[in-house]
Amino acid sequence: MTTFDDRERSYEAKFALDAELNFKAEARRNRLLGEWAAELLGKSGDDARAYALTVVTSDFEEPGDEDVFKKLQADLEGKVDEAGIRAKMAELRIVARKQIAGEAD
């Protein structure tokens, strides 16, 4: 083995780990968004958990965040405007990444 081969394997492993952590952080962010939205909708307990799961699964409809945004926008119409939803998405992305990074340590 050469140093180049070792370095290449190291980069591949880091890429795979980063992709896995990113996926987990996005799923966590979506769950947190679902919990936030459920509270705004007056849901609690099992209803809130079930609603949060619908937000998580809405992320599989199309690439990117727009599918989650569209679901939240439709569900929260009259309660939160577009800027408020996007701000909460950005805020909870940071929270989720910190939580996932803390678990990975």
How far is CA 29 from its chain centroid? Answer: 3
Q: Are 33 and 88 in contact (CB under 8 A)?
A: yes
- The reported pLDDT for the residue numbered 8 is 81
Which of residues 61 and 68 earns the better pLDDT score? 68
The mean pLDDT value of the chain amounts to: 90
> Is it the case that residue 1 has pLDDT exceeding 70?
no
- The reported pLDDT for the residue numbered 85 is 97
Express as a percent the part of the chain with pLDDT over 70: 96
- pLDDT band for 101, please (50, 70, 90 cuts): confident
Q: Mark 34-55 as b/e (b = at least 16 C-beta within 10 Å).
A: bbbbbeeeebeeeebeebbeeb
**Alpha-carbon distances, residue 52 vs 10, 11, 64, 72, 84 (angstroms):** 36, 35, 18, 11, 18
